[in-house]
Structure 1
Amino acid sequence: MEGVDASSLIHNAKNQKLSKEHDVGEGENRIGNLTDTIAQHILSFLPTKDAAKTSILSKRWTYLWLSIPVLDFHDGANHYSDSDEPPYKRKHFMDIVERVLLLRDYSTITNFSLTCNVLNDSSRINTWISAVVKHKVQVLNIRLYKIREPFILPCCLFTCESLQELKLNIYYPLKLPSSVSFSSLKILTLTCIVFPDDHSAQMLFKVCSILEELHLISCSWENVKAVCISSPRIHKLHIEDKEPPPNYVTDEEDDDMDGENNSVDQNDDSDDESDNIDDQNNPVYQNDDIDDQHSSDDQSDDTDDQSDSGGGQFAVFGTSLKYFSYFGGFFLDCYIQDSSSILEADLMACYSDRTIDYRAFKLLRGLSNAKSLKLDQYAVKALNDELVAHLPVFNSLTHVHFDWVLLFYSRQVLLSMLQKFPCLSSLKFEGLSFMFRYFGTYDWTLDPVPGCFLTHLKTIEISMFCGSEIELHAVRILLKSATVLEKIVISFNPWELKDADGLKKQQEAHEQILSFPRASLNCLIAISCPPKEKKRLKFFL
């Protein structure tokens, strides 16, 4: 019996081995049976250097990767890297890019991404970009750092008819050729771009006739006085108006560039006057916004300060604009002329001072037709009582999200703003009191009660809740005042519940909230504790 069992085991082992060999063969056949199109599509999801490694699979695959529609080259460069990469690594990277483009057939490159240091290789990198344009690139992402010699993007890039999405991240003056035409461009993202003058900025935006999305991130507007965005199809505009990263241009080269820019400006003065914004007489380019509405001397002083504050004016005529977001220090004086189509708007300020307050007010006033609005603590703090009084009524607004609003210095403004939102049905607070635990009192009330609390407000959401006395008082007032409220959702800050004391505090707060009187007897109270998310602290780091 034992002999039979041993023989059976040997037989089974042989069958399993044959089966595995058969499976491997079938696997190889399955890969080999893939059409070139499918195989190249799969390879397009890999970094180009990894896709190149598949050339060892078989003779057929030796050149297959050279025709993939997506190319992605990254040498590890970034804005904040101080040291140069070793010369041998630099040479290896440059050789790989040139080999791929040199051996490329005539097939279209749908997506091309290049991230690298320029150093003294401007001409080589421009040759790569020109080659990609010839292959009718549709999505182009260029991130260039450490530019140590004069750099001008190739002219062919600015007349590329196939280009549908363009991302440029180059901290260097953008010099445009005499002819610029983006007939197919729908998405434009500019990061750290330095605009040398009004003419170049206005020309770039003017030629994007079918542009749908525009993202402006940490660009330099110091040399720009006024720009107008009026693309009839643009539906999404995102602006991060922050300080650009460190400049890697040397002082000597910077002086040379200044000289070049001055000579260009002298030659282009006449063009600037004729090609600048057609609507220079439009009120949007003059500081008349609330000057005639404010009678106090203090407000007149504010307006005078605003006019001398520097920073260009940025006007948006957004007849099709649906999504608008702004985050930054208001180095730009932004203004939206027509917001009738806006569905969502985010307004996040980095800090607050008199100039920023004025500009935040003016921008918020232009968003009065938005359906959904998100404001952070500085955007709320910017609106003192006098400015709030001049805000229009937001009749279309149904959802408001207040992000890290400090009730200590903004609660009165907050209450005044809620009076301007008569149709509000959803209200969210994220980080309701934050630093309030360390100072201040909490004996405030909703007086008078905002009209939306009596007629429209159905949902209140409070996240990053800590269970402090001020927060509990706020919840008590909200429940007491919202007569048609259907649901209030409270999410505890998981970082406050890291020990037994935190869990006990949560339980006590939970019990108190459930005992609060409610103006709406049908109101549901939901309390939860989401998992920790480190990324939530990103805003404060």
Structure 2
Amino acid sequence: METEDGEEDRISKLSNTLLIHILSFLETRYSVRTSILSTRWKNLWACVPNLTFHLHSPPSYGFSNFIDRVLLLHDLPQIHTFTFTCNSIFDIKPNRLNSWISFAIKRRVHHLYIDFIQGLFFHPLNFPLSLFTCESLVDLTLGFNTCIVSNLPDSICFSNLKSLKIWVADPDDSLTENLFRSCPVLEVLFLRARLELDEDEDEDDEVIFNICTQSLRVLRLYLEADSYDERCCFGHEVVIDAPALDDLLLDDNFMACYSINNVSSSLAIVHVDVGLFFWPRIAECDCHNRVLELLGGISNVRSLYLSSTTLRVLGYAEDNDQLTLGNLTRLELGVVYLSKLLLDLLAKMPNLESLKLIMDHQAVYRNCYHEEEEEFYEIQWPPCLLSHLKVIEVDNFEGLESDLLLVEYFLKNAKVLSKMVIKNQNLVSVKVEVLKRLLMFPRGSKTCEIEAGDLIANLEEIQKFTQHNVLDVTTKYKHEANKKSHFKEFEVDDFVWAVLTKDKFSTSKHNKLAARKIGPLQVVERIHQNAYRLKLPSHIRTSNVFDVEHLIPYYEESFDEEHANSRVDSLSRGDDDAVCIAEKYMTTRDHRKAH
């Protein structure tokens, strides 16, 4: 079969099984539309095992009717995936949603995703009780972003469930115990718990999250209070005993007591974010020591993230000298400015190789805490700066003095650093002077390179210029830096000036060419560090290999001031050679600017 333009129709040759597999990757509304293509396609969508519905705003009751018709006409006795998402829980009637969930349960669904994208406030939702005893489920997500499961029963059974994402309110001690007893093969758990705080609540009335399981690999635990007051020492506890755990996230805005036991040395990633709202009283409570105990329990971790608030709480710990994170090779850290606290923490990570510093310019304690001035060069260098730290990334850089001080310190003192990446993804303008200061900072490592593409892209000044001007600015700074350096290195296709010395010609010819330089000439081969092969004009008959000391970098902006004094024209080049060289130079230059 051929199409109207004579091309072969390859899709028509595919089997129905393969076509159904292709349709399973589409949103259901689009797979249904294929029924109008031909008689063969009319009922294929009804055999697709994946049903995906995304209700876009504004809400449409017609779309709910469409879902009802799809479920009524769907042919398969078992479905693989059922997905329903919409912007807000208020865009759909709960009884309508529950009827769709019941349909999926009856069809022995394996993967069930129910979620709501937006919402400033949480909203409770009752789900069908049959959902909590569905043995076919392998993956379950229930309104993790904005919807609280308000009717989670005491008796649940998920014998095959491997991944669970759920948000519950006011849990008790039995929550996690029942959960892991009912989910014997659970590997991934996203648990969000909202703890209600009553004014007359007894502070000894604690909730214990006992996460004891042999199968769990990934844990995301979000603990939040429904209100905040000056009571910062809640009695809630989290006990983690998971020998297979390799990925852990703890997001806790009131700092529970953590006890981490029997965690394997294979623990790879830990993310800790303690968001406290009672800074005036933080020194009076025990929260800071809880953070220290938490880090002690995950001392074997290889990759760690700590928020800026977590770092600040850790700074109040009474005795953190014993803390050592010897296996840690990657750290992501929220910081406000360069501080002794930051350097003390790095001193506990002797094998750190990669460091990402996220500048937190909105920290709630920025104006509440005034650290004494420190002469940072007098502080003992963290060992990782001298022997291991190779990559540093500074994110959310805005060009403030605190940002510059931090970058300058690490550029100067990281002795084996190979790359410093500076990013600004928030489109905050950074002045050209800031970029110039960054490029001129002294570097403790001779091989260190600075990548600041985001800063250049966000400069207000370059909005007035073309990409040609932007490259000229960068070239200018590079040129100034090269002038201050005695070491010169070129790459193939670079253009240079070449100085003709007497050893290149016979005596008679050399007299005519005394004190001459020619160019621009293209580098065609790097012989070794001190010698390069150049492409010479055809009328200059001499060796095309030059020592590096007789080569001078060629820059566009230097042409006018140097060309007039170079006497290149006195060499009487052939016109064809001059045209070829000029064309080759312009082609190479344009190619570089395009990339």
* CA apart distance, 1:398: 2.0
What's 2:106 paired with? 134
Letter in 1 for 2:6: D
TM-score when scaled to structure 2?
0.62
Alignment of structure 1 residues 13-412 onto 2, 5 Å = 21-23=4-6, 26-27=8-9, 30-76=10-56, 85=59, 89-90=60-61, 92-115=62-85, 117=89, 122-143=94-115, 152-169=126-143, 170-176=147-153, 178=155, 180-190=156-166, 192-194=167-169, 196-217=171-192, 219-222=193-196, 225-242=207-224, 307=233, 309=234, 312-330=236-254, 332-339=256-263, 340-351=265-276, 353=278, 354=282, 357-387=288-318, 389=320, 392-403=323-334, 405-407=335-337, 411-412=339-340
Q: 1:465 to 1:319 in 2, by over 3 A?
A: same
Mapped to 1, the partners of 2:12 and 2:188 lie a distance apart of 41
Selected match of 1:414 from 336, 339, 342: 342
What's 1:9 paired with? none
Letter in 2 for 1:130: S
Q: 1:215 to 1:151 in 2, by over 3 A?
A: closer
Aligned residues of 2:340 and 2:376 also touching (Cα < 8 A): no
**Larger CA deviation: 197-206 vs 180-189:** 197-206
Q: 1:378 to 1:481 in 2, by over 3 A?
A: same
Mapped to 1, the partners of 2:93 and 2:425 lie a distance apart of 50
Alignment of structure 1 residues 439-518 onto 2, 5 Å = 443-445=375-377, 447-483=379-415, 485-493=416-424, 498=429, 502-511=431-440, 513=441, 516=442, 518=444
Aligned residues of 2:28 and 2:52 also touching (Cα < 8 A): yes
More helix by share: 1
- Number of matched residues? 429
Letter in 1 for 2:81: N
Q: 1:120 to 1:331 in 2, by over 3 A?
A: farther
Letter in 1 for 2:294: L
What's 2:358 paired with? 430
Q: 1:205 to 1:527 in 2, by over 3 A?
A: same
Gaps of 5+ in 1: 1-18, 78-83, 246-303, 535-541
* CA apart distance, 1:466: 4.4
Deviations 1:158-213 (A, max 9, x none): 233322111011324133263x22222111111x3325533244312332211111
* CA apart distance, 1:434: 8.1
Aligned residues of 2:398 and 2:429 also touching (Cα < 8 A): no
* CA apart distance, 1:98: 2.4
Aligned residues of 2:172 and 2:208 also touching (Cα < 8 A): no
SS state of the match for residue 23, structure 1? coil
TM-score when scaled to structure 1?
0.68
* CA apart distance, 1:317: 1.2
**How high is the sequence identity, in percent, across the aligned residues?**
29
Q: 1:222 to 1:494 in 2, by over 3 A?
A: closer
SS state of the match for residue 343, structure 2? helix
Deviations 1:405-459 (A, max 9, x none): 0137xx2222222222233233332328888999985643352222333443344
Mapped to 2, the partners of 1:137 and 1:492 lie a distance apart of 44
Q: Which structure carries more relative contact order (alpha carbon 8 Å, separation 6+)?
A: 1
Mapped to 1, the partners of 2:387 and 2:194 lie a distance apart of 46
Mapped to 2, the partners of 1:478 and 1:74 lie a distance apart of 47
**Larger CA deviation: 416-425 vs 453-462:** 453-462
Deviations 1:323-373 (A, max 9, x none): 112334136544432343311112223345426545433333322221111
Aligned residues of 1:352 and 1:382 also touching (Cα < 8 A): no
Aligned residues of 1:336 and 1:363 also touching (Cα < 8 A): yes
Mapped to 2, the partners of 1:467 and 1:124 lie a distance apart of 53
* CA apart distance, 1:111: 0.8
Deviations 1:479-531 (A, max 9, x none): 55444x242414253767847xx1233123312x1xx262x5x4423232237
Mapped to 2, the partners of 1:228 and 1:165 lie a distance apart of 22
Mapped to 1, the partners of 2:302 and 2:348 lie a distance apart of 13
**Larger CA deviation: 180-189 vs 353-362:** 353-362
Aligned residues of 1:48 and 1:73 also touching (Cα < 8 A): yes
What's 1:15 paired with? none
Q: 1:382 to 1:151 in 2, by over 3 A?
A: closer
Mapped to 2, the partners of 1:174 and 1:431 lie a distance apart of 41
More strand by share: 2
SS state of the match for residue 314, structure 2? coil
* CA apart distance, 1:141: 0.5
Aligned residues of 2:422 and 2:455 also touching (Cα < 8 A): no
Aligned residues of 2:78 and 2:107 also touching (Cα < 8 A): yes
Q: What RMSD in Å do the two structures reach over aligned CA positions? A: 3.9
